[in-house]
Structure 1
Amino acid sequence: MGKFRYTQDSGILTEKQRQFYEDNGYIVIKNNVSNVLLDNIRQRFLDICNGKVDTGFMTIMKDPSLIKHKHVKGEYLIHMVQNFLFDEVLSQYATDTAVTDVIASIIGSNVTAVQSMLFNKPPNSDPGASLHPLHQDLHYFPFRPAERMAASWTAMERVDESNGCLYVVPGSHKGDLHQHSYPNGFKKVLYHGVQNMEHLPKIHLVMEKGDTVFFHPLLLHGSGPNSTQGFRKAISCHFANSNCYFIDVKGTSQEYVSREIEILTAKQGFKLSFVDYWKSQCRLVRGAPGNLQVLDSHL
């Protein structure tokens, strides 16, 4: 094995940046995504909130602590848009070369987007509903190897501790995949967390609009609540090298999440296995296709 395990020799990251990612499991690239693209994405999100867009395969999630307030609507209620890889506007983030150039430097030149989320933390949410517990993204994915997967997370406005910025546990990507479960308090669907690890030293990532953090799927991370009267918007995608392979999660810590996803998709009218659910989310964004093939419905 060479000097670098988690990044690739050919790419735009400098040796210093690669070493930082190797040691810490993440790297922040300042001014990574243009304001023009982020402004278009923000307007698309507002149009979705206001019912002006056919959401198709996208999943729209509302803040569970605000649903009971009938006067709270739109941007003040919706906290996530998920599975937007086939939306004509939001998908431009997943194919943006500013993002995929860095991703290719980490996972290789054949890049498949496997998950997509636009996060919105509205004001006046219960803190327990607004935060995201400490977790590892690999918990949700039935493909490997982890070293050929990475996430991008871009601030759509300034994010800091007051409005719920990300925090990370540096170096935790070198550990194992931990058991995940629902935290106490508000139960947001699929917002699982790792318990009894909040004591670990964390770094809060204060970021400006357009800054992007790229990180390993085993990195322990989370975010705090929004305690301001403004919003906290961010857009994120997970990527995998197209030659990653699917695994059987039966008998592992991931069996729990696989059952939950299969139940949820069945309720939505799609009877899919855990693997086929993820195939339905995938979109090739760079290079040649591989094992992560999409279902016919998106061809």
Structure 2
Amino acid sequence: MISMALSSVSLRDLALVQAVAREGSFTSAARAMYISPSGLSHQVQKVEQALGMPLFERGGRRVAPTAGGQRLLGYIEAVLGAAEHLEHAARAGDIAFGGELRLGVPSTLGPYLLPHVIEPFPQRFPEARLTISEGKPRGLLRRLAEGELDAVLAPPSATVNGLDSTALFFEPYELMLHKAHPLAGQHQVALTDLDASDATLMAESHGNGVSDLGMPGAARPERIQDLSIESLATLVALRGGYTLVPILAHDRLQSIPNVVLAGVEGARPGRHIALYWRSASPWRDDLTGFAALLRTLAGTIPGLDAAT
């Protein structure tokens, strides 16, 4: 039997405790879980009172679990995992994905890939609804691990415990240059002919910058965070220089004034895209079928290289 004190603790309360442990900060955890810091602190204290022991050491620069808290965090993770399985079991049935696939897509990929997916998805998975969430890859993978999403499209990253993945396709980058750039009139431009200090690169989408692209030198120190491809194009149009943009965005970017597009001569910078899902997902077969659909579509889209 569960005690009266513990019965007042909700799954949301346990998820808040898990967020504090993951973020190492009440403020960061509150931001990630869309709750005020004071509200989060109150809910964590409620869990601690119900369990009869402190879960975190407070007062340092980083909030750390107590020895007992570290042990109980494993049980909390198990409880949340069991609750997720219960929800999936209730949703699962003869309909693919239990009726809904909650898919996370990077904001620099979604607007250009999804138009190719929207029509064939219901044909391949009748009665299943496709729900899209956009964001940064790291944030999407975190939401996947926490059960908020069912699958995520993202570049391959460091192994995340509890997640499986399969390769989908490679998307090359092409160059976007200010129209006044000395090489703007060329159909193909070699990266070695460019000045790395003129590059405007995005922190997450372009990896470690020009060093990842085999170019000498270093990008400008004011590296920007990820934003929309159209906003990146606007920066180049205003600031000059050049950037790298995914080839799927080619048609939309052609209409932006003061910039021109060019192919990359020789080297093929770009990004690999994989499909991620939780290892414990009850829809592994459906997700495998979805990955096969995406690879088939990639094979029909000019510029993409479908994974084999």
Q: Which has the higher helix share?
A: 2
1 or 2 for the larger relative contact order (CA 8 Å, sep ≥6)? 1
TM-score by length of 2: 0.21
Which structure has the greater CA radius of gyration? Answer: 2
